[in-house]
Amino acid sequence: GQNIDQPTEMTATEGAIVQINCTYQTSGFNGLFWYQQHAGEAPTFLSYNVLDGLEEKGRFSSFLSRSKGYSYLLLKELQMKDSASYLCAVRPDTGFQKLVFGTGTRLLVSP
Amino acid sequence: ETGVTQSPTHLIKTRGQQVTLRCSSQSGHNTVSWYQQALGQGPQFIFQYYREEENGRGNFPPRFSGLQFPNYSSELNVNALELDDSALYLCASSATPTGYTEAFFGQGTRLTVV
């Protein structure tokens, strides 16, 4: 089976650092994605990890450990506009580009 | 480089009706996938199209069907609409049908079935 787990909601303060965790169990693995989604809008691509380790893109970093079935998204210098849902998605080994999503983590950034 | 575009942005249909949603893939991308996202949930994979054929499908009934055209654009058709079909429908495009590549989403079509 396929299962993606991430916290439902997190809160943080403007300027702080927050880490959103994601654990997964899938049949095969062809990469892990993080997307940002503001309410009522489409998901926006943030990062893609296929090998173990840390990928850094400006204020956002994503980490992957395939042996542990674990990833995290790190957001630094939080801004109010970072208030959104963050979706963790895994591409299992299906032979096509299917993504399996978690239910998302709603992040609330307060002043 | 153009991104993924979908039309229409919003749609209201009556139970039992049929609907067609459209998607233009990102420039250079030949693979299109469709997802359904219910309120408060993550997107659920419906199917994928490559070279004008469906080459992967999720757990959706046959009344969900699609097409892909030679220019890689795609349609999602839903027949016999049910109230539970109310959701945000997302189209994602990729550069290849398999392997390690990124997937980019369109802005979505919000379908309401009444």
pLDDT (average), residues B27-39 = 92
Average pLDDT rounded to a whole number, residues B29-43: 93
* Identity of the residue numbered A45: F
Q: How far apart are CA A35 and CA A45, in angstroms?
A: 5
CA atoms within 13 A on the CB side of A46: 28
Mean pLDDT of A72-95: 94
pLDDT (average), residues A36-61: 92
Which residue of chain B has the CA closest to A102?
B42
Average pLDDT, chain A: 93
pLDDT at B1 over 60: no
Residues in chain A with CB shorter than 8 Å from the CB of B110 are 40
Mean pLDDT value across residues A71-93: 95
Report whether pLDDT(B23) > 80: yes
B24 to chain A, any CB pair closer than 8 A? The answer is no
Amino acid B8 reads P
How far apart are the CA of A16 and the nearest CA of chain B, in angstroms? 26
Residue B98: the pLDDT is: 76
Q: Which residues of B touch A106 (CB under 8 A)?
A: none
pLDDT exceeds 90 at position A82: yes
Nearest residue on chain B to A89, judged by CA atoms? B42
As a whole-number percent, the residues of chain A with pLDDT over 70 amount to: 99
* Confidence tier at A1 by pLDDT (50, 70, 90): low
The pair phi, psi for residue B3, each rounded to 5°, is -90, -170
Q: Which of residues 2-21 of A touch B (CB under 8 A)?
A: 4
Is B102's CB within 8 Å of A33's CB?
yes
> Between A and B, how many CB-CB pairs are < 8 A?
73
pLDDT at B62: 97
pLDDT > 70 in chain B, percent: 96
Task: Flag if B102 and A94 touch (Cβ within 8 Å).
Answer: no
In the stretch 40-79 of chain B, residues with CB closer than 8 A to chain A read 40-45, 48, 50, 55-56, 58
Residue B76: alpha-carbon gap to chain centroid: 5
